Structure 1
Amino acid sequence: MHINWATAVPFPDYPDPELQKELRRRISDATDDDLLAAYLHWTENRIAAAWSRAANDLEDEVARELEHVDALRKPLGTHFSLRYLKAHDRLRDAMLQACDASSAAAREARMVCDQLRKLTTGDLSAHYQTGPNDEQAPAGRLGIVMDQLGRIESELRSALKAHRDAMHDVALRERDLKSFIASEHSVAVEDIHAMSPAMFEQTVAALARRDGHTILRSSGGSRDLGADVITMAPDGSRVVLQCKHRQGGRGKVGSPDVQTLNGTARPEHKADIVIAVTNGSFTKPAVDFARNHDIRLLDCSRLRRWATWGEPLLSVVGIGEAGGNDVSTGWWSPA
């Protein structure tokens, strides 16, 4: 074998001269194939060790991130709780997948290192002559590990960025909601509780106008046939609203009122959308009847979303994405 004994790397001065003599003899007997195989093996071990450390580091990082996700507080009782929870669940699912994938990649990397170490005592020249490009060989599987780590890290960064973006979006919406509530366009439910029935009807009409509806009737009367407010929605739908005010927000609207509305809204007023709205609540029979006859109910909690928070009427009652607001409510969009 061609070897430069005058290299800058000195031959070790072993205490035992026999050992030194045996090493020199073996090196002198080595062929070019032996030298290349040994260097290849040494290089593969270094690469395998580096990627094994990288796999272990990624596994540890994913585990820490998963701990952080599990430690996040889940806000409840706010309008944005659903957005928080959806973003949290998406991130946790991504973290669990990354945890499983990174653990598998780390195990594979450690296995490659172990198998490469075992090859050290074998015939390296024969090993590389028979199948150096075999994907089942230890070093051949390093490429798979490297691809896995790259993909896992990319997906991890993407999931974390998506969560940060979602939290940033929620923060902006919270700011916009607070700004809207402080504006003249927001009507507090507490103020609605103190209104007269006639003023409540006019307020409902004003809120619909705020949403971009064209007002066809703004208040009812003795001959209103169950329709206190009639509007044309931005999409052209004819909306009939029956308003039932309850002083102080106390009291329920029963099934007879909803049945009366059902009997006139479509036959008499040609309604496309029928809504019963109250600052109180509805009885269970009223809810059951409305569900069976495609009548939308808007109780005190939904009234707050509409009047105070500025969510569009049709969105509040669960009809489409309801656009066309005249007033900017930047916080709102479908969850």
Structure 2
Amino acid sequence: MHINWRTTVELPDYGNDHLCELFQRHLSEATDDDLLAAYLHWTEGRIALDCLGMADELTARFQSETESLNRLRIPLGSPYVGAYQSAKEDLRHAIDKALSTTETAFQKARATWVSLCAQTRHDLAGRYQHADETHPDRSAVALIGQLGEQNAGAERAVQNALARHRDEMHRLAILEEELATFLASDGSFSLQDVDTMNAYEFEHMVAALARRDGLNVLRSGGGSRDLGADVIAVTAGDLRVVFQCKHRHAGVGKVGSRDMQTLNGTARPEHQADIVIAVTNGTFTKPASDFARSHTIHLLGRTDLRSWATWGEHLLSVLGLTDAPLTTTAATPDCGPPYVQAS
């Protein structure tokens, strides 16, 4: 028995002489193996409790992050709704995955702690004399190390996800600021302003938007003999674009299939169009949409008009014809911010 009796650790005074005598007797009878086993057992329990506490703390923290995320509101009417939603779902997925890890770790650490408590009633020295490392008692404690690594990994994953989310929110905040500047410029036309235009003004706005996007406008307004081509322009890639403009008062009203049939009969045969577009501040009927789809006529209705006229998305991007021009090519420096598609 090797006990340093000059230790600063004092034997507890239990206020009972008989109990004190029992403690001293058991201490005097304890072997080195007994004392080491007791210390190892206590240490394993301490580590198990630490793992349990870490899992519990992380679970509470992750749940708090989830609550904060649920309170995060996506700006209404923003062109970046898809980007906001994607960032939110990515962070939610990372937190949910980490929560699953820490909740499982908590349950397993607790089960290990209970198992260690039960072992206290048995021969501790004999427990640590097992040479087989796969013994259930030993493998249960070894699991604590794995759980600790899993907890730490979950914490790192959430921290990285939060950093990515912060970076994305910062990026979107800059884009929102640039968009606000663009909305106040002459390059942006609100749907409210568009709705108050007459047909002539609407055609000239479409021509102005085409110029903003770098197209060479050959005709900026139609007439009684326009043969269905109100605006004609040429892209940088020498593609001829023919627009038929259908303005609807206050944005109310639909464009029907007869207009599509007329446009289809003249745009290519008469105007040699490579790209045919029907644009309105209203909407299109289903027969008109079906006809346009089957005859490769691009429809630019109220929703797409907002992306093009108000938010500054390039015409070809709105039409889904190219991924390249995601910024407006403006005649003046303040006529177009970088545009990020909603999804």
TM (normalized to structure 1)? 0.86
Identity of aligned residues (%): 49
Do 2:313 and 2:328's aligned partners in 1 also have CA atoms closer than 8 Å? no
Q: Residues 247-297 of structure 1: CA distance to partner in whole angstroms, max 9, x if unpaired?
A: 554443221111222233344544443211123332222122112323211
Do 2:214 and 2:236's aligned partners in 1 also have CA atoms closer than 8 Å? yes
SS of equivalent residue, structure 1 residue 129: coil
Structure 1 equivalent of residue 203 of structure 2 = 201
Letter in 1 for 2:329: D
Structure 2 equivalent of residue 36 of structure 1 = 36
Structure 2 equivalent of residue 286 of structure 1 = 288
Residues 255-264 or 72-81, more deviating: 72-81
Structure 1 equivalent of residue 128 of structure 2 = 128
Structure 2 equivalent of residue 316 of structure 1 = 318
Q: Name the structure, 1 or 2, with higher relative contact order (CA <8 Å, separation 6+).
A: 2
Structure 2 equivalent of residue 257 of structure 1 = 259
Do 1:321 and 1:333's aligned partners in 2 also have CA atoms closer than 8 Å? no
The Cα shift of 1:307 comes to 1.6
Q: For 1:286 and 1:223, locate their aligned partners in 2 and report how far apart those are by CA, in whole Å.
A: 23
Do 1:133 and 1:140's aligned partners in 2 also have CA atoms closer than 8 Å? no
Query: 1:87-126 alignment to 2 at 5 Å?
Result: 87-126=87-126
The Cα shift of 1:57 comes to 1.1
Q: For 1:192 and 1:7, locate their aligned partners in 2 and report how far apart those are by CA, in whole Å.
A: 89
| Structure 2 residue 11 is the aligned partner of structure 1 residue 11 | yes
Structure 1 equivalent of residue 71 of structure 2 = 71
Q: For 2:318 and 2:274, locate their aligned partners in 1 and report how far apart those are by CA, in whole Å.
A: 16
Residues 58-67 or 133-142, more deviating: 133-142
The Cα shift of 1:75 comes to 4.7
Query: 1:235-250 alignment to 2 at 5 Å?
Result: 237-250=239-252
Q: Residues 297-319 of structure 1: CA distance to partner in whole angstroms, max 9, x if unpaired?
A: 11233223212221211222333
Letter in 2 for 1:326: T
SS of equivalent residue, structure 2 residue 241: strand
Structure 1 equivalent of residue 161 of structure 2 = 159
Q: Residues 195-226 of structure 1: CA distance to partner in whole angstroms, max 9, x if unpaired?
A: 45444333212211211223344344555443
Structure 2 equivalent of residue 182 of structure 1 = 184
Q: For 1:268 and 1:135, locate their aligned partners in 2 and report how far apart those are by CA, in whole Å.
A: 88
Structure 2 equivalent of residue 325 of structure 1 = 328
Q: For 2:16 and 2:24, locate their aligned partners in 1 and report how far apart those are by CA, in whole Å.
A: 13
Aligned length: 335
Q: Residues 43-89 of structure 1: CA distance to partner in whole angstroms, max 9, x if unpaired?
A: 11112112211111111122222223333345544434333333333
Q: For 1:196 and 1:67, locate their aligned partners in 2 and report how far apart those are by CA, in whole Å.
A: 49
Q: For 1:9 and 1:45, locate their aligned partners in 2 and report how far apart those are by CA, in whole Å.
A: 21
Letter in 1 for 2:181: S
Structure 2 equivalent of residue 218 of structure 1 = 220
- Aligned-pair RMSD on alpha carbons? 2.8
Structure 1 equivalent of residue 150 of structure 2 = 148
Q: For 1:155 and 1:319, locate their aligned partners in 2 and report how far apart those are by CA, in whole Å.
A: 38
The Cα shift of 1:245 comes to 3.0
Structure 2 equivalent of residue 229 of structure 1 = 231
Residues 58-67 or 14-23, more deviating: 14-23
TM (normalized to structure 2)? 0.84
Q: For 2:58 and 2:132, locate their aligned partners in 1 and report how far apart those are by CA, in whole Å.
A: 28
Residues 261-270 or 33-42, more deviating: 261-270
Distance 1:70 1:186, change over 3 A: closer
Structure 2 equivalent of residue 82 of structure 1 = 82
Letter in 1 for 2:290: D
Residues 186-195 or 292-301, more deviating: 186-195
Q: For 1:132 and 1:19, locate their aligned partners in 2 and report how far apart those are by CA, in whole Å.
A: 38
Q: For 1:170 and 1:248, locate their aligned partners in 2 and report how far apart those are by CA, in whole Å.
A: 32
Q: For 2:94 and 2:262, locate their aligned partners in 1 and report how far apart those are by CA, in whole Å.
A: 51
Do 1:135 and 1:141's aligned partners in 2 also have CA atoms closer than 8 Å? no
